[in-house]
Structure 1
């Protein structure tokens, strides 16, 4: 699972390194300006993926393969209903949205071009995200590993080729990263469909899973997925707000924001992996009626987070100057970015504990309360602290706000788990 998450981020990280080294500071800033917008759109698919993975996990635990395929087919149709309008109509709003976020004028044209290409590729990006999540729901974490390995390798080769114009290819600048990502994801999806059919995988497409859209499955997916999507959207909106603050400090600050996000995505691999694994294992146990296994799954997840996430955080502190230097070639900007990264790194351990707790609770469909508490931490702690401290001490205050939000969320999730969720039996979903 962790290797899969590593590969999921590797493509973006490698693209960022190529852009930073070959095109410079303004190009990194242009790509960074679009990240929260993409994450806002992706939030809906993360919610659908979460709901589908929980339902598939319980159906798989109960041995009901037909229900597994019905849930998967319904989830794919729902994803297409979300992503196609974004791809078709989202481009029109991008220039105004990027301007409203205060994107520095020097990077705005490149940011718009990159954003339009990535938005057009949303159906491919979202479909890959969904099918890898559903694969984990049936206990198959290997297929996502291979498909993302293929996507990363293709992107690694294509991005510099399009930037430098190798073999007579056009030089496409910042757009190279977007085009290589979309092409790599599309080819990887085709490979996955072939691979699953050859293996007779439970999710293998046969006229794309064969079962028709099922309203009852859609309702169940939305019951779990919408709160999760709301949680992700609250993160995305907070990122948009905080990026607006960052952009006020100039191109260097925007580039630093992008570089720090890339490194934080690597440090958070254990967080994502442990949260997803906790949900999958707990949903299997609940679906099979083995409710006594949920407690040990939680305890193991909390201990593993301390060891694995703590190790990643320690390594990031040691390697921060070298890691930042991969993205930012300007010495003064890189030094400032390292200081900002040091402010927030330690709090990723707290985020990991929160992810395990909420992952366990999500396994029986309990999503509204954890999501609401998370949104409280974001809106009433993270963003206000960032605004207040940015006004008082400048750019470092924004990253102190992130750490404060992680700490508040852990306290709220632990309180709800201990005082409410653990006091009642876990429930099976239909």
Structure 2
């Protein structure tokens, strides 16, 4: 997400908006491939990996395996959300991503937990992660595709004469006439 944000910021600064969607797509593709591979490895080798942290207590390993099955794949959804937010932040849009994350953390995750706990028990806690991540991704995608974030301006462009004056005031005139070195 940080790398995508930096690439997007550089291209936004250069006025190359035509590259932004491609950068976002590549970022999401890499995230899904790398994070997906990690989740698959963790799920395939769950017994050995969990035993590293939980000893060989089978009851605890079974409980942890259930948690992994319910929640681990939500990292891919949340990662996609972070990439979309990173691209928006590259253009100075920070309020919408913040509000979406606050809403999904408190209203969606906690709301899902409290509503689902009476029916499914402790699994409601672990299922609240993918539910919250799915809602975050949906809202992030809506804001991204709506496109209003592209209209934000980070700073007011400097007038040409003001720019020329600033350049001349910051240089040493003699240095330009008779450069040394």
Band the TM-score falls in, shorter-chain normalisation? 0.7 to 0.9
Distance 2:113 2:45 in 1: 26
Corresponding residue of 2:30: 304
SS in 1 for 2:153: coil
Q: Deviations over 1:177-234 (max 9, x none)?
A: xxxxxxxxxxxxxxxxxxxxxxxxxxxxxxxxxxxxxxxxxxxxxxxxxxxxxxxxxx
CA RMSD of superposed structures (Å) = 1.9
Match of 1:414 among 137, 141, 150: 141
Corresponding residue of 1:368: 95
- Runs of 5+ consecutive residues of structure 2 not aligned to the other structure: 157-181
Match of 1:313 among 30, 36, 39: 39
* TM-aligned CA deviation for residue 426 of structure 1: 5.5
Distance 1:352 1:377 in 2: 14
Kindly tell me: are residues 282 and 392 of structure 1, through their superposed partners in 2, closer, same or farther at Cα, counting changes over 3 Å?
A: same
Contact 1:286 1:426 in 2 (8 A): no
Contact 2:104 2:135 in 1 (8 A): yes
Distance 1:293 1:427 in 2: 18
Q: Scaled by the length of structure 2, what TM-score is found?
A: 0.77
Distance 1:307 1:346 in 2: 12
Larger Rg: 2
- Which residues in structure 2 correspond to 1:347-362 (within 5 Å)? 347-362=74-89
Distance 1:428 1:365 in 2: 6
Contact 1:280 1:363 in 2 (8 A): yes
- Runs of 5+ consecutive residues of structure 1 not aligned to the other structure: 1-274
Q: Deviations over 1:21-60 (max 9, x none)?
A: xxxxxxxxxxxxxxxxxxxxxxxxxxxxxxxxxxxxxxxx
* TM-aligned CA deviation for residue 396 of structure 1: 1.5
Corresponding residue of 2:68: 341
Distance 1:292 1:401 in 2: 37
Contact 1:364 1:429 in 2 (8 A): no
The answer on 1:326 being equivalent to 2:52 is yes
* TM-aligned CA deviation for residue 288 of structure 1: 3.3
Q: Scaled by the length of structure 1, what TM-score is found?
A: 0.34
Distance 1:293 1:326 in 2: 44
Contact 1:282 1:363 in 2 (8 A): yes
Contact 1:279 1:362 in 2 (8 A): yes
Distance 2:143 2:72 in 1: 25
